Structure 1
Amino acid sequence: MIESQRNLNEIHFMNWCKVDLNLLKVLAVMLEERSVARCADRLFVSPSAVSHALARLRTMFSDPLFVRSGGAMLPTIRAQSLERSLSLLSTVLNAELEKTRGSQCTTAFHPAESVRDVKIVSPGALELTLVPAVIAILHEQAPNWTLTVEPFERRSYESDLATGRVDFVFSIGGTTPVGALVDGITLWEDELVVLAGPRSDLYDCTDRISTELFLAHRHVYPLPWPISQNYLDVELARRGQHRNIAVSLPSYAALGHLLETTDLVSSLPDRSARALMRSHPDLKLLRLEPARRSELSLLWGIAAAQEPAIAWIRDIIQRAAGELESFPYKRVAGDRRLSRSTVA
């Protein structure tokens, strides 16, 4: 982000009034196409016009910008550093143009008659809760839509959202800034809880256990991201503590069965834990002392928010999240498990 801001400032200090903005358009398309001929085709100009523009750009930035390698024009490090800044500038301009088009458009949006592929980035734990809830609504109300889910990584998705590579990010940890290009809301707050099966000695414990007791057991870790990026493990490492991870899994698919048949335990968000208990009722939920909570945010690109389809699916996600608030659980006499209370 700092590098992009430096590049934007550099372009600004050149004095916009003296810069031919068509040159920046040529640079942006060249960075995508890596070919003078293809760039010329996209801009409806001759290859010699693109070559002339590149010569002026090289003088402007005091850098070759592109070097020929085989049949391609490869960007220099300097050109690569400018690529994201140009992408962000393009996104801002597109957002303003989209606002104008949106205000002029009077065609009603009908989800059931539309066709679209929605791309969402999501932590693995939400495959037990929010993701299937959203899929169910889409299947009913927008049967021609498709949904692609990418695994969440601990990094900024600002560029992905601003350029429309992905439509939404279910974010934990605040690694993507909300600002001129990205907007977002908090969907809910999760509490980190522990699940144990009948073979674990934690099964006979009270509903709350200490961190020390939790760490004394062997763990299953479904891998949403590396341990070095997991907020629980980072917090423990600062105190010189660590989990004894006996099994690492690529997803949550086998977690319930593994906990039921071994003495291993696992920590996961409370909504995901309760969802897993509905298919594995012999599991027991325990709360940690001290409690650890984290927010789940929904992020989207501001430019894309002007599109009726994106605004509609955003409302669908918010509604689905609201219906997944933690259900109240109560103790059943003579039963070690937590059972769901009757809710209207």
Structure 2
Amino acid sequence: MDWRRIDLNLLKVLAVMLEERSVARCAERLFVSPSAVSHALAKLRQMFSDPLFVRTGGGMLPTARAQSLERSLSLLKAVLDVELEAGRVSAPGATFEPGESVRDIRIVSPGALEISLLPVLAAILRSRAPHWSLTIEPFERRSYEIDLATGRVDFVLSVGGATPTGALVDAAVVWEDELVVLAGPRSALHAGSDRISTELYLAQQHIYPVPWPTSQNYLDVELARAGKHRKIAFSVPSYAALGHVLEATDLIASMPDRSARALICRHPDLRLIRLDPPRRSQLSLLWGISALQEPAISWARSIIQDAAAKHGDAGGGTANRIGSGQD
């Protein structure tokens, strides 16, 4: 099929139908009659040799073929949106002023950054772009290509380089962190050496913040490959409770070094202990390539990098070696 012979208005109908799953609502959004939408669907079915939608009691259910087309249409829409926005901003007399603009930035982030990078980033945004809002989504080990390309999320902070990238997504390493242990006064490790072996580490009872199952956690996957496992005695949904639990129990927790230092600032009785051999991982920043054409997104990326540098200055060490990630 030669794309130059396709009526591109049909793709617009298909895109809206995939969102609405109703001929009447699709017609209303496109400012056409329901019969016009039905006529367009007939042409689309012939074009793709598929019924595309099946009428059910709950509306028009897309077929597997229609669902496969949804990804391509979403990517096309995202690229067009960026191009149109770039054209609007680059128009004569148009300028981008962060302090006067309104924008919601959506970032996917690991839990450990709640107590390290994210507070610094929030402070910078409040200072330089007070009308912006920041929404954080929990990080998952999966591809975020479509999310970034379509603009559903603006950035992904990925731990360990495990998040796939593609032709539509670019990435840069923000920093490398070291996995360390935090122990409270009740722990047998609190009065011991500054560095412990893997064997001694595994002999302890652990507290585990649960962003994802241990079967998807890079540390536990590495240990399992060697036939070793941690003893998880207590799981919590975030890092917020770690300091209080470590102070009240003999449990230990594993986390990136800068996150550990952030907790020690709030709970000075906790002690940081390093592992021997050391374990390190990278934190990467991912973004949609086409999205950087939008000045707001390009500026936001620079702000995230600025926040990383400021966090490094505040936490000790260089800006390229500040803690992140997840245990």
- 1:45-91, Cα deviation, whole Å (9 max, x unpaired): 33222211111211222221111123621111221122112212322
- 1:86-129, Cα deviation, whole Å (9 max, x unpaired): 21232234344444444335422222222222211111100001
Q: Distance in 2 between matches of 1:59 and 1:21?
A: 15
Q: Which residue of 2 aligns with 1:273?
A: 260
Q: Which residue of 2 aligns with 1:184?
A: 171
Q: Distance in 2 between matches of 1:109 and 1:99?
A: 11
Q: Secondary structure at the match of 2:234?
A: strand
What are the equivalent positions in structure 2 for 1:94-105 lying under 5 Å apart?
Answer: 94-104=81-91
Paired AA for residue 167 in structure 1:
D
What are the equivalent positions in structure 2 for 1:113-262 lying under 5 Å apart?
Answer: 113-262=100-249
Q: Which residue of 2 aligns with 1:107?
A: 94
What are the equivalent positions in structure 2 for 1:4-153 lying under 5 Å apart?
Answer: 14-70=1-57, 72-104=59-91, 106-153=93-140
Q: Which residue of 1 aligns with 2:277?
A: 290
- Cα RMSD of the aligned pairs, angstroms, is 1.8
Q: Distance in 2 between matches of 1:105 and 1:227?
A: 54
Alignment check: 8 A CA contact 1:158 1:176 kept = no
Mark the CA change 1:143 to 1:97 in structure 2 (over 3 Å): closer, same or farther. closer
Alignment check: 8 A CA contact 1:102 1:306 kept = no
- The Cα shift of 1:235 comes to 0.5
Q: Distance in 2 between matches of 1:103 and 1:109?
A: 9
Tell me which of the two structures has the higher relative contact order, counting C-alpha pairs closer than 8 angstroms and 6 or more residues apart.
2
Q: Which residue of 2 aligns with 1:320?
A: 307
- The Cα shift of 1:266 comes to 0.7
Q: Which residue of 1 aligns with 2:323?
A: none
Q: Secondary structure at the match of 1:201?
A: coil
Paired AA for residue 59 in structure 2:
A
Aligned length: 315
- 1:254-305, Cα deviation, whole Å (9 max, x unpaired): 1111112211101001110111011111111111122111111112223332
Q: Which residue of 1 aligns with 2:320?
A: none
Q: Distance in 2 between matches of 1:102 and 1:178?
A: 28
Q: Which residue of 1 aligns with 2:324?
A: none
Which of 103-112 and 314-323 deviates more?
103-112
Structure 2: runs of 5 or more not aligned: 318-327
Alignment check: 8 A CA contact 2:13 2:40 kept = yes
Paired AA for residue 181 in structure 1:
L
Q: Distance in 1 between matches of 2:259 and 2:92?
A: 41
Q: Which residue of 2 aligns with 1:264?
A: 251
Structure 1: runs of 5 or more not aligned: 1-13, 329-344
- The Cα shift of 1:232 comes to 0.2
Paired AA for residue 178 in structure 2:
E
Mark the CA change 1:79 to 1:175 in structure 2 (over 3 Å): closer, same or farther. farther
Identity level (%) = 72
Which of 15-24 and 266-275 deviates more?
15-24
- 1:216-257, Cα deviation, whole Å (9 max, x unpaired): 000000112111110000111111111000000011111111
Q: 2:287 aligns with which of 296, 300, 321?
A: 300
Mark the CA change 1:158 to 1:32 in structure 2 (over 3 Å): closer, same or farther. same
- The Cα shift of 1:173 comes to 3.5
Q: Distance in 2 between matches of 1:165 and 1:101?
A: 21
Which of 246-255 and 319-328 deviates more?
319-328
Mark the CA change 1:32 to 1:281 in structure 2 (over 3 Å): closer, same or farther. same
TM-score, scaled to structure 2: 0.90
Alignment check: 8 A CA contact 1:191 1:292 kept = yes
Mark the CA change 1:173 to 1:45 in structure 2 (over 3 Å): closer, same or farther. farther
